[in-house]
Structures are given as C-alpha cells and as structure tokens.
Amino acid sequence: MTWVEDQQSNSQYTQSQEGDQSVKSVKKTQVEDIVFELKLSLRKNNISLSEAKLILFKGNEIIIQELDQLLGKEPFKVLNSNMLARYMIEDIQDKEFEYNPEQKSPVPHVRSVFRTLLQHYQLNFDDYILQTVAKACLQVFEFCSRKNIHKLNQQELLERVSQLDLQWNSKCFDCFQQLYYNKYKGFLQFDVQNVKKLFEQFQIQ
C-alpha cells in the first residue's frame, strides 16, 4: 500500500466513524510503517519498550478512544493514532462492522499486541555495528556518486550493501535507519548526500 492509499484509507475510516457507518478491520500492513516510525521515535528519545508500555497501559481494560488519545500525545505523537489503536483493540473480522470508539479490550492483551508490533529493540548499538554501517554507507555513497544516483529506497540500499564484502545484518540496517532518522527524520527513502554527511566524519577503524 502506498502512502497516498494509506491516507485515503485512513480518511475513509474517519468519515465512517463520524457517520456511524460500517468500517473494515485494520490490517497489519496498514500499521507497519506507523509502528516502525514509532519505534524510531521512541528510541531517538531514549524510551525503552518497557517504559513505553508503562506510559500507555494502566488499569485492567482500555478503550479505543483512550488509546487513540494516548498514542497521539508525547512521547508517542503517532499521526495515525486511531488506526493503530483500532488495530490493537478490535477483533479482526471478515465483514464490515460498526465502528465503536468505546470498544474495550483487556490491558494484558493490548499490551501483548503492542509488544509484538514493536518487538524488543535496543536503545544503543555496539561499536562493531556502528563501524560496519559507516564503512558500508561510505562505499555506497562512492558507488552512487559514480553512477550519478541521488536517492535510494530501502530495497535499493540493501541490494547495494549486499554486494559489499562486509558482515551486514538486520541489526546494521536497523542502526542505519535509526541514525538517519535521528538526523533527517526519513526512514523509507535516503538522500545520498545526507548519507555521506552522516558518516564522513565517523572514525572508521
């Protein structure tokens, strides 16, 4: 699903909710980018998964409206907070159903869904990972400069890195996305010049 389609889908939900009309279940694919940016934002602000859960979840039950409001506030600031709240609370249904902002779910269940979505993430990366990422990104920049390439999406970056003689893994990509997000806010597409700026003064061993 493209960003535009996602926004249109979210707009349809809003219109349906205001008119008490039927809606469809929120699919996991609709919240994946929302969740990933949330993880990057929390880690940028040095908030662990355990701390995030303590802020969000209190009591025995939680309703969609309350979770929606919490996700829209600091330190979360989720733009599509209603969609994420609905995904975490509503039961997945094949048929359309009437949206109910008062629908509730046991806190232990919603907390478990939240933990599964965000997974366990580290707040910091070890020096080996940082060194690997810096080496890879500077080599990718050199390649892009020769080929006059100015931007890379996630898949293009990974394809280029896979051709390097480096021990690159998922932690390396996670680290790169976090560092890029911290500086430039993006995480789906990367400006090649920004990649260079991010790592050109890094002390590579």
Per-residue pLDDT tens over the stretch 32-83: 999 999 999 999 999 999 999 999 999 999 999 999 999 999 999 999 999 9
User: Looking at residue 130, what is its pLDDT?
Assistant: 94
SS3 call for 69: helix
Of 37, 30, 98, 116, nearest to 71 by C-alpha is 37
What is the percent of the chain with per-residue pLDDT over 70, rounded to a whole number? 89
pTM above 0.85, yes or no: no
Which of 99, 118, 137 is a domain's end point? 118
Residue 189 CA to residue 191 CA, distance in Å, equals 7
Q: Which two tokens stand for residue 199?
A: 């790592």
Asked if 71 contacts 148 with a C-beta cutoff of 8 angstroms, the reply is no
For residues 74-96, give the mean pLDDT.
94
Q: Which domain holds residue 70?
A: 3-118
User: Looking at residue 204, what is its pLDDT?
Assistant: 63
User: Looking at residue 94, what is its pLDDT?
Assistant: 86
Asked if 103 contacts 63 with a C-beta cutoff of 8 angstroms, the reply is yes
Which of 54, 86, 118 is a domain's end point? 118
Of 182, 43, 173, nearest to 119 by C-alpha is 43
Question: Do 109 and 149 lie in a common domain?
Answer: no
Q: Which two tokens stand for residue 72?
A: 């829209």
Residue 188 CA to residue 45 CA, distance in Å, equals 20
Question: Do 27 and 85 lie in a common domain?
Answer: yes
β-bridge mates for residue 98, sequence order: 22
Question: Do 136 and 191 lie in a common domain?
Answer: yes
Q: Which two tokens stand for residue 55?
A: 């802020």
Question: Do 12 and 113 lie in a common domain?
Answer: yes
User: Looking at residue 205, what is its pLDDT?
Assistant: 56
Q: What is the pLDDT of residues 4-27, one digit of tens each?
A: 444 444 544 444 444 467 899 999
Total of domains in the chain: 2
Residue 204 falls inside a structural domain: no
Question: Do 53 and 137 lie in a common domain?
Answer: no
Question: Do 142 and 93 lie in a common domain?
Answer: no
Residue 205 falls inside a structural domain: no
Of 178, 59, 10, 31, nearest to 118 by C-alpha is 31
Asked if 132 contacts 199 with a C-beta cutoff of 8 angstroms, the reply is no
Question: Do 108 and 7 lie in a common domain?
Answer: yes
List the Cα angle 176/177/178 in 5-degree steps: 90
Question: Do 39 and 101 lie in a common domain?
Answer: yes
Confidence class for position 92, pLDDT limits 50, 70, 90: confident
